[in-house]
Amino acid sequence: MSNKIVLLPGDGIGAEVIYAAKDVLEAISKKFNKSFEFSSFDIGGIAIDNHGTPLPDETVTACKEADAVLLGAVGGPKWDNNPSELRPERGLLGIRKALDLYANLRPVKGFEKLLHASPLRQDIIQGSDLLIVRELTGGLYFGEPSERRDNGNSVVDTLSYTRKEIERIIDKAFQSAQLRNKHLTSVDKANVLESSKLWREIVEEKKAQYPDVTVEHVLVDAAAMKLITNPTDFDVIVTENMFGDILSDEASVLTGSLGMLPSASLAEDGVGLYEPAHGSAPDIAGKGIANPIAMILSAAMMLRYSFDMNDEAQAIEDSVENVLNQGYHTADLKSNDGKLVNTTEMTELIVKAI
Q: Interface residues for ligand NAI in 29-88 (CB under 6 A)?
A: 73-76
Q: Interface residues for Mg ion in 81-140 (CB under 5 A)?
A: none
**Residue span binding ligand NAI (CB under 6 A) among the ranges 59-67, 104-112, 194-202, 274-282:** 274-282
Chosen from ligand NAI, Mg ion, none, partner binding at 131 (C-beta under 5 to 8 Å by type)? none
Q: Is residue 279 at the binding interface for ligand NAI, with CB under 6 A as the rule?
A: yes
Q: Interface residues for Mg ion in 243-262 (CB under 5 A)?
A: 245
Q: Is 56 annotated as a binding residue?
A: no
Closer residue to ligand NAI, CB minimum distance, 140 or 213: 140
User: At 134, which helix (H) or strand (E)?
Assistant: strand 129-135
Residue 269 appears among annotated catalytic residues: no
Closer residue to Mg ion, CB minimum distance, 11 or 245: 245
Q: Is 221 annotated as a binding residue?
A: yes
Q: Is residue 91 at the binding interface for ligand NAI, with CB under 6 A as the rule?
A: no
Q: Interface residues for Mg ion in 36-55 (CB under 5 A)?
A: none
How many CB atoms sit inside 10 A of residue 205's CB? 12
How many CB atoms sit inside 10 A of residue 195's CB? 21
11 Cβ partners below 8 Å, 6+ apart?
44, 45, 46, 72, 73, 74, 75, 76, 88, 280, 285
How many CB atoms sit inside 10 A of residue 178's CB? 14
DSSP E strand boundaries for 136-229: 143-149, 154-158, 183-188, 214-219
Q: Is 233 annotated as a binding residue?
A: no
Residue 11 appears among annotated catalytic residues: no
8: β partners: 71
163 Cβ partners below 8 Å, 6+ apart?
198, 202
21, 8 contact by CB (below 8 A): no
User: At 178, which helix (H) or strand (E)?
Assistant: helix 163-178
CA distance 105 to 264: 5
Q: Is residue 241 at the binding interface for ligand NAI, with CB under 6 A as the rule?
A: no
Of residues 161, 245, 274, 328, which has the active-site annotation? 245
Binding marks (x or -) toward ligand NAI, 285..324, rule CB under 6 A?
-----xx--x------------------------------
Of residues 49, 57, 157, 221, which has the active-site annotation? 221
Closer residue to ligand NAI, CB minimum distance, 45 or 138: 45
Residue 57 appears among annotated catalytic residues: no
3-class SS letters over 20-73: HHHHHHHHHHHHHCCEEEEEECCCCHHHHHHHCCCCCHHHHHHHHHCCEEEEEE
Contacting residues toward Mg ion, per CB under 5 A:
245
Show which residues are catalytic.
141, 189, 221, 245, 249
The residues that touch ligand NAI, with contacts defined as CB under 6 A, are 13, 73-76, 89, 92, 258-259, 275, 278-284, 290-291, 294, 332
- Binding residues for NAD(+), as ranges, are 76-89, 279-291
